[in-house]
Amino acid sequence: MKPAEASCGDQTIFQAILARHSVRTYAPRPVSESEIRTLLEAAVRAPTAMHQEPWAFVVIQDPLWLKRLSDVARPLFLDRLLHQAGPGNARTVKTFADPQFNIFHDAGTLIVICAKPDLPFSDADCWLAAENLMLAACGLGLGSCVIGSAQAALNTPAIKTELGIPQDYKAFSPIAVGYPSGKIPSTSRKAPQILAWKKS
């Protein structure tokens, strides 16, 4: 099956993987508490190193909070871009320099997966949980998008305090969630690059 032929209503795991896309336009329809709890249940079923289950979650559905967080995160990420600017970054720099740009793409829900960074593989566990969450969102007809540009802001002491994130935790995986607005454009991927395949 080609990715363009898949839809989020498909039932098999592989079809869900093909159907999941990063969504950057959201309808105003809110995500319900029961839907969020379903996404969190999917997240905690992810593989976890040494069965540590290090994850903890922050859910933000307050539009004013999301706007404020976007306004804090955007210049922090812009500064990072400017320090590593290359030819491919020009468009992204222009986007983040726009004070009207909302890094969450107007999604009404942000789910942040956190963990103590000193635990072995806690970062990998959080990202595995994030993939489970995004696949589950696709299965529910929801869109999602990893918002890596929010990570620095979420890890400032002031934002952590306001969100109730313990200072010894790190926000690893910020994920915007919502109902897609309009048709989601299909994407393609390069063929797998196989560096080695040893057979007897």
Instruction: Kindly report, residue by residue over 99-148, the tens digit of the pLDDT.
Output: 999 999 999 999 999 999 999 999 999 999 999 999 999 999 999 999 99
Which is more confidently placed, 18 or 5? 18
In the predicted model, what is the mean pLDDT of residues 159-187? 94
Q: Is the pLDDT of residue 5 over 60?
A: no
In the predicted model, what is the mean pLDDT of residues 12-36? 93
Given pLDDT bands bounded at 50, 70 and 90, which one contains residue 2?
A: very low
pLDDT given for residue 183 in this prediction? 82
156 alpha carbon, distance to own chain's centre: 18
Alpha-carbon radius of gyration of the chain = 18
Residues 49-106 have pLDDT tens digits of: 999 999 999 999 999 999 999 999 999 999 998 887 666 678 899 999 999 999 999 9
pLDDT given for residue 187 in this prediction? 83
3-state SS, the chain, equals CCHHHCCCCCCCHHHHHHHCCECCCECCCCCCHHHHHHHHHHHCCCCCHHHCCCCEEEEECCHHHHHHHHHHHHHHHHHHHHHCCCHHHHHHHHHHHCCCCCCCCCCCEEEEEEECCCCCCHHHHHHHHHHHHHHHHHHCCCEEEECHHHHHHHCCHHHHHHHCCCCCCEEEEEEEEECECCCCCCCCCCCCCCCCCCCC
pLDDT given for residue 6 in this prediction? 43
When the pLDDT of each residue in the chain is averaged and rounded to a whole number, the result is 92
Neighbour-count burial of 5, counting CB atoms closer than 10 A to its CB (0-12 exposed, 13-18 middle, 19+ buried): exposed
Percent of the chain scored above 70 by pLDDT? 92
Q: Is the pLDDT of residue 48 over 90?
A: yes
Residue 177: beta bridge partners?
Answer: 109, 144
pLDDT given for residue 86 in this prediction? 66
In order of their start, the domains of the chain are: 23-85+97-178 (3.40.109.10)
142 alpha carbon, distance to own chain's centre: 13
